[in-house]
Structure 1
Amino acid sequence: MDALRDRLLLADQVTDGVLGEQRAKMKRHHDKHCHGKEISVGDRVLLNNPAIPVDRCRKFHLPYKGPYKVVRKVGQVNYQVEDDQSKRSEERKSVTGPLKPYKDTTQCNQTQLFKERMKNIKYPKVTTRDKRRVDQKKRRDAKKSSAIMRRRGII
């Protein structure tokens, strides 16, 4: 019985040593590849709000609210933010997810390029001949529908 207890204690010590090494290795890897978001005073951010309201479904819930403006940095990871519209100030903690940098879509280069391309598209001119054809088709359709209504006794 003592031999079994000694083997179990030895196995426990070995696993503790291996787990400690692995834990330290994972921490080094995480610290090496994990960089916090650089948020400075004056930046615009979105606030994470993962709580889904009772009257909403998960599919249509927008988890980020905002944009908010960062008023001041309170601590290492705490920021005081202010709502742009209501100017209501509140303190929020930003560790990894609650604050996300806001990117204004109106300043996006892709949007500007798309608008420029749309301006440069040349559409074919509609001639009077085409207009006459459309008018003739409308009159024919109107005659057909009125004839059908007369047959059915609606008119």
Structure 2
Amino acid sequence: MTRITLVQGDITRQTADAIVNAANSSLLGGGGVDGAIHRRGGPAILAECRKLRVGHYGKGLPTGQAVATTAGELDARWVIHTVGPVHSDTEDRSALLASCYRESLKRADELGARTIAFPAVSTGVYGWPMDDGARIAVTTVQETDTAVEEVRFVLFDNHAYEAFARRLA
């Protein structure tokens, strides 16, 4: 049985087997969680991401998919990069957001990770409403068969923490 925990804070300060990066499709860093993970994790993460871009992911990582790299200087073994969808008022992209969590857990299982730390994927600059993002994240993790023992949602502020806490209540 997977235990779900909530932490308010900085995901780059977490200790876990795997830390999930809310990446952009380029895998080469960006703003928000993505930029913070690349900055704190150091150049080894970017170096592996560049290799992925030269290889299988030449056109970038597709939305809803996940791929793992080293965690560099983070207190983790791996970073699992996933590309969340941009929220749309005219198109239901919730299956793509759920896929980010499922695919990240699948990568974690393949790696043998027992603990994983997730941000609230797509709820920042990609505009996903926090309450709905929390619903999709928590429900997907609860419904996904995984060997991961602890899923930790690391929420940047009180608004995000409260939204996730309501989903777990």
Q: Which TM-score bucket, shorter chain as reference? A: under 0.3
**Structure exhibiting the larger radius of gyration computed from Cα positions:** 1
Q: TM-score, normalised by structure 2?
A: 0.16
Q: TM-score, normalised by structure 1?
A: 0.17
